[in-house]
Amino acid sequence: MKEGSAADAELPGSVTSAVSAAAAAPAGIPAGDVSAPALTVPEAKAPPEELHAPPAPLAPPAPPAPPAAVPTSHSEAPAPGDAGAKESRDCDCCFDNVPATDGVSCPGKAHFFCGPCLANFLEAFKTSEYAEQKKAKGRALCPMKDSDTPFGDGALAVFVPQDVFDEYLQIRIKVAEQSIQEEFEKENSAKIEELKEKLAKATGSGEQLELDKHRLKIIDDIFTLKCPRCKMAFLDYDNCSAISCSACKCGFCSFCLEDCGKDAHSHFYKNGSKCPNEGGPLFVPHNVWQGYQNARKERLLCEYLAGLPDEMRKKVADLAAPDAKDLGIEMPQDLSAAGLMPEAHGIQRLKVTIPRRMRGLILPVKKDLPSKVELKIPEPSATVRLCSPMLAPIVAWKVTATSFGKSSIAAHLPTDHQVKIEDEWVECRGAKGDIAKGLIKAKHIVGMISLGKDVTLKEANGCGSVLVRKTATQDEGKNALGYWDDGKKVKVVNHWIECSWEGAGPLKRGIVQANCVPENDIVLRGPEEDCQAVLKLFKAKLGFDVEVFSLGGAKPKAAGKAKAAKAKAKGKAKAKAG
C-alpha cells in the first residue's frame, strides 16, 4: 500500500482524481469506465515535461463489495431489511401473492408457503399417521413431498401461532419416546428368538433350561404386548386406546388387551371413557399410556413369580431383572407369596379419590388406623401431573383474566406436565337481583363441586359471609364484587385450579380447568376388612362415598356390601351351630 501511495503522488492532478473516483465507485461498475457520471472530472493541462514522462503505474482497483449474506437454510425467511422484503411471491398452497417476508420456503425445491397455510399444515401434521410423523423424527417435511430435509424450527416459530408451535414440539417428544419403546421391543424380539433357538437345541443343564423357559415366558407373554386374537405384537400406539389389529382387524383395549370384537370404543364408553379393568382413559399420550402398561406388567410379573416354587422364584426374578430394567419395569422387592399377590392373601391395595380441599377432614382418621393398614396422602406441596381429558395441550389462563381470549392465555401446558397447586377457585352464579357472577375460593363450598349444580356456601373462618371476587387473585380492593351469606345456594359455572409450573410458556402461574388436575393419588393398603372400615370412616367425615380403584386388578367390594356379606356369613354360622 505504501508503494501505491507513492505512485499516486507522481500522477497528474486529473489522473489522480480519476483514480480516486474509480476507487470510490460502487461494486459492479468497472474502475476504468470513464463514461460513468461519478468518474467525470474536469481536464487539467499538464506541463510539457510531465507529458513526456513515462506513465506511472496505476493504483490497484478497489476490491468488489462483498456479496449479500445468503440464508444458511432454504427454509429461512428474509429479514424485513433484506432485499426480499421488497419482493412478493405466490404461495404454492393457496396461490395468493404475498410479500416474501410473510412466508417461508421449504428446504427442498424452494416451494413457498404463506404464514396461514403453514399454520394449517402444522395443524394437519399433528393429527397425521404416526408413520408420517416419524419420517423426520417428528419434524415437518415439505407438504409437496420433494425433500427429506425438515423445516427449521426458527422459520416455523416466526409464522405460526405459539399454541400451534407448542403442539408441534410435543409431536417430536412423542415420536422420540415411541422410538425408544420400539427399540426396546425389537431387542426383546431378538432375545425371544435367541432363547427359542437355545431351547430347541436343548443345550445346558436341566435347571438352566427350566429357567430359560420361564424367562422366555415372561418376555414373550408379559413384556411383549400382543393382539389377543392373532397374538401378533403391536408397537404403534397412537394416543387412542381403542386399538385395531393390522393383521386380523380385531378391536381391543390397549390397556387390558381385552378382545372387544370389531371396535373397542364401546369398551371405554360404557365406563365413562375409561378402561374398566385398568382405569386408563380413551385418549392419552404415549408416555402416560406407557406408565399404565408398566404398572400392568409389574402386576402380571408378580402373579407369575408367585406361581413358581419357592426355590426357583428368586433365580427367575434375577434372570428377568435386566429385561425389566431395559423396559422401565420395577422388579418386586418382596418375593414372598403374600408380597407378590397381596389380594390373594386378603390384602387390598386401593387408589382413593378425595378432593384436595377436603383432605384435612380425613387426617384425624390417619392417626387411629389399624396397625396393619397403610394410608399414603401426598403432601399439599407435592407436584401433580396434569392430565388432559382429550389429550390436547392444556390452556392455563392468567389469574387476572376476566375474559378468555388469546391475550388472557398464560401458557399452553402439555398433558402430563408437573404443576404445584397454589389455590382452588369456583366461578358461581347468584340468584336474580344478587351478584350475577363471581369467583369464590373452593374452601367455602360444602360437599362435591359439579358444573351446573347448586352448592351451599359456608364461611371457613366463621365470619358469616363469603367474599366474591372478579378475578382469581387475593386482592380484596377493586377486585371485590361483594359478599354472599353463609348457607346461600349458588350455581357452579366453572371450577379452576390455580397452579405454578416450570418450563412451559412465557408465564409460570395461572388457572387451569379442575378436571385436568387428577385427585386419585391417595393409596390405602391393608386387610380387606380393615380397608372397608376405613372407607366407611371416610364417608362419615366427607358425607359421600369416595371413588376407589384396586391396584391389584380386582374391583373392591363396597363397604356396605362387605358388611352385609359378613353378617350373612355369621348368620349361617349360627344357624349351623344351632
Mean pLDDT over each residue of the chain, to the nearest integer: 78
Dihedral, 373, 374, 380, 385 alpha carbons, nearest 10: -120
The rounded distance, in Å, linking the Cα atoms of 396 and 392 is 12
- The residue among 113, 120, 177 whose CA lies nearest residue 151 is 113
The residue ranking higher by pLDDT, 489 or 462, is 489
Question: What pLDDT band is residue 184 in, cutting at 50, 70 and 90?
Answer: low
Q: Between β-strands 394-397 and 454-457, what pairing exists: parallel, antiparallel or unpaired?
A: unpaired
SS3 category, 326: helix
Question: What pLDDT band is residue 384 in, cutting at 50, 70 and 90?
Answer: very high
Concatenated DSSP letters of 253-287: ETTT--B-TT-SHHHHHTTTSB-TTT--BSB--HH
Q: Which residues pair with 427 in a beta bridge?
A: 439, 494
The rounded distance, in Å, linking the Cα atoms of 24 and 37 is 13
Question: What pLDDT band is residue 433 in, cutting at 50, 70 and 90?
Answer: confident
Q: Which of 158-172, 384-398, 422-436 is least confident?
A: 158-172
- In tens, the pLDDT along 389-410 reads 666 789 999 998 888 888 999 9
The pTM is what? 0.56
Q: Mean pLDDT over residues 494-517, rounded?
A: 93
Q: Contact at 8 Å (CB) between 440 and 468?
A: yes
pLDDT at 431 over 70: yes
Question: What pLDDT band is residue 51 in, cutting at 50, 70 and 90?
Answer: very low
- In tens, the pLDDT along 434-481 reads 899 999 999 999 989 999 999 999 886 667 899 999 999 988 788 999
pLDDT at 104 over 60: yes
In the prediction, which pLDDT does 261 show? 94
- Based on its alpha-carbon atoms, the radius of gyration of the chain, rounded to whole angstroms, reads 37
Q: Contact at 8 Å (CB) between 437 and 482?
A: no
The residue ranking higher by pLDDT, 487 or 187, is 487
- In tens, the pLDDT along 188-226 reads 666 666 666 665 665 556 788 888 889 888 988 999 899
Q: Mean pLDDT over residues 282-311, rounded?
A: 89
The rounded distance, in Å, linking the Cα atoms of 356 and 363 is 12
HSE on the CB side for 105, CA within 13 Å? 18
pLDDT at 153 over 50: yes
In the prediction, which pLDDT does 183 show? 67
Q: Mean pLDDT over residues 497-507, rounded?
A: 90
In the prediction, which pLDDT does 429 show? 95
pLDDT at 495 over 90: yes
The residue ranking higher by pLDDT, 175 or 397, is 397
Q: Mean pLDDT over residues 62-72, rounded?
A: 43
